[in-house]
Amino acid sequence: MESSSYLLLCASVTTLLALPAAALAGPAQAAHRSWAADNGNGTYSNPLFYDEFSDPDMIRVGADYYLTGTTMHTMPGLPILHSRDLVNWRIIAYAFDRLDLGPDFRLDEGKQIYGQGIWAPSFRYHNGTYYIFANVNRFGLQVFRSSSPRGPWTHNRIEPGLHDISVLFDDDGKIYAVYGARTIRIVELNQDLTALVPGTDRVLIESNLGMGEGSHFYKISGKYYIVSAIPGAHVPMKCARADRLTGPWEVETISAEESLGIGQGYRPKGGRGRRNTPPMEAAPPDSSQRLDLDLHQGGIIQTETGEWWGFSMQDHNSVGRLTSLSPVTWENGWPYFGLPGNLRRTPSIWVKPNTGHTEPISSPYERSDDFSGPKLQMVWQWNHVPDDTRWSLSERPGYLRLHSLPAPDFWSARNSLTQRAVGPESTATTELDGRGLKAGDVAGLALLNSPYAWIGLMRDDSGFTIAEYDHSTGKTAREPIASSRVWLRAHSNYDTEISQFSYSTDGKIYKPLGPDFILVFQLTTFQGVRNTLFHYNTGGQAGGYADFNSFALDEPRPRGLTKPIPVSQFITITDLGSGNALAVVDGKLQSVTAAEKATAFKVVDQGRGRIALQTKDGKYVSVGGEGKSGGVTIKSGKPGNVETFQWVDLQRGETLFLSLATHRYIVVPKDAGVAAADHPGPAPHRRDGSCFTWKAVGALKVSSK
């Protein structure tokens, strides 16, 4: 198993390098306006989705892959995404439309399920039936099943709940579920999946072996495997294996310390707790603490062609928990995330999986909506169970009409319509006709988070006011406005964690309102920020109606390759950390303090996002062969594997060079010195000598000598 997977990976790389050179940023890149992981050149960028998709679980049925994840308090829930290449995904269904288990789920009687609801699903397929198992806090284990992933899905409940469940249909006909944190337990489910088999619940793996939670349970080539994560953000993924369920179990770390260059952002001051009353001060990152946010909690999957791939999530600050895709290398019977020579580290950019199928570049959802269709776009989810008698797409064709219900504030308002915020940067804009508002009504555009913020129209007996409310301070900025028709906008940069609100009365010129709003990662909702359309009445009764004519989401940076790779151009390269330039000195690549001594390198296309760096005298930057120390020298001749680098864009202007010889990155010392290709991956601060900036230096020529 190990050797076959490794050979398949090597064959894939060799085939790609043999292909003719092609444009590295083709027309498909420029045309696609929402985040897509597919770079259009045979590679993909992590994350797969730049919006929250937490606790992912994935299955393959023939040539088709299906993915689901946590949705907590949002309805419909448990989205089902489909792909044939593991990179381009589209939503095709939800496992349920509404899950009403009491007043908590309806924001009724002062109750709510923020940060609760349905979570950590286990996705399975067995004998023609698709299954999703997931817990609901205080309401047990929910079982959904269907003959088609598109539904319809039926639902039943099992008591009690099983924390972070994973189900295995074993080849002996029995159905097992593992669950728990640190101490992993196992229990048998009955054949119709309506109850636990009495007397079968027991400890499977003791806590002293170092397992975590979020288990993914597999049987591969006759062995049992359980992949789990230690609870928290700065944590490794573990894997346990055994020949029999009775053990003995071995445990190995299969993914660790991979942050993809992302560091911790703002947190609620005093911790990540569940306080939800202002003032709520945001604490900036603490430089004395570990600031990386590691990939954790996921599983593995095999393609039809025999390749193995891993999927896992990452706490990505206020935008939420994002899902990434990792090549898997089997070594000594363990499925390590990462590449040979750099195990446990996931590349930010890598060659797409060989699934035997190709897919057009796509995003999971249509995010903008003009509300002209008979249904909402599938990206939309309600905050808790809505009152379906109080909203409509048909009362005024081409508009979403929200009738207000009484609520003391936005947090408690029913019928708030949400969709996941999208990074790394996005602008949400909606056009609101508020002439149907009554006294006490508030309607507008919000960023659902804890703390939250909104911009909207307020109406009282004297008329309309445009207002921006910041829940972190409890303060409201107000301006009188004559028009009941406004455009509301929220621009959010999830690199800086700052949002700004603005409004317009003509849809062209926008005026800022209120101070910058600081976005934070928090555990109150246990979700990332959500763009939200809302309407409620503060007078203790139902009010009027608000008509939303459109919702548009603009993404100025929707691709993993933020700039085209400068193929055939000469560039100079500078270390982001020290400011030193890269130069060839005495036949070696090293950093130099004097910018004027920088060497200009020609970027030579090696196909599928790989490049070679050529000097003006025709030589190439070269890395010591496989298994070597990774020393970087300059050599003559045609570029081969040791002269080829994966161009890695970290999406904030920084570039890394991943050697195909070592599967590690070029790194330079802080002081001027010789470079090596032995760095495992970028640090969150990106000043560790592996992250570079580059500048084109004009039309130069390579010497023919």
Residue range 338-352, pLDDT digits in tens: 999 999 999 999 999
What's this model's pTM, rounded to 2 decimal places? 0.94
Whether 614 and 604 have beta carbons less than 8 Å apart is answered as yes
The answer on 385 and 327 residing in a single domain is no
The answer on 579 and 659 residing in a single domain is yes
Residue 586 is encoded by which pair of tokens? 């005495």
Q: Which of 554, 579, 602 is the last residue of a domain?
A: 554
The answer on 633 and 544 residing in a single domain is no
Neighbours of 134 (CB within 10 A): 29
Q: Is residue 41 part of a domain?
A: no
Between 453 and 29, whose confidence is greater? 453
User: What pLDDT, on the 0 to 100 scale, is given for residue 191?
Assistant: 98
Q: 176 is in which domain, residue-wise?
A: 2-16+52-269+293-351
Could you tell me the pLDDT band of residue 273, with boundaries at 50, 70 and 90? low
Whether 482 and 464 have beta carbons less than 8 Å apart is answered as yes
Q: Is residue 650 part of a domain?
A: yes
Residue 76 to residue 108: CA distance in whole angstroms: 18
Tens of pLDDT, residues 41-98: 999 999 999 999 999 999 999 999 999 999 999 999 999 999 999 999 999 999 999 9
Give percent of the chain above pLDDT 70: 93
Confidence check: pLDDT of 446 > 80: yes
Beta bridge partners of 273: none
Q: Is residue 584 part of a domain?
A: yes
Alpha-carbon torsion, ordered 528, 532, 535, 537, to 10 deg: 20
The answer on 207 and 120 residing in a single domain is yes
Q: Is residue 652 part of a domain?
A: yes
Could you tell me the pLDDT band of residue 281, with boundaries at 50, 70 and 90? confident
| Cis before 335 (ω within 30) | no
Residue 120 to residue 164: CA distance in whole angstroms: 6
Checking phi first, is residue 697 left (phi over 0); if not, alpha (psi -120 to 50) or beta? alpha
Mean pLDDT, to the nearest integer, of 549-565? Answer: 96
The answer on 648 and 608 residing in a single domain is yes
| Cis before 152 (ω within 30) | yes
CA 335 to chain centre: 22
- Give Dmax (Cα) for the chain: 85
Whether 526 and 115 have beta carbons less than 8 Å apart is answered as yes
Q: Residue 184: name the closest of 230, 130, 149 by CA.
A: 230
Most confident of 21-35, 224-238, 272-286, 308-322: 308-322
Domain count, the chain: 3
The answer on 589 and 473 residing in a single domain is no
Could you tell me the pLDDT band of residue 24, with boundaries at 50, 70 and 90? very low
Whether 364 and 41 have beta carbons less than 8 Å apart is answered as no
Whether 662 and 632 have beta carbons less than 8 Å apart is answered as no
The answer on 538 and 398 residing in a single domain is yes
Q: Is residue 363 part of a domain?
A: no
Beta bridge partners of 465: 458, 480
Match 């109406």 to its residue by tokens.
Answer: 459
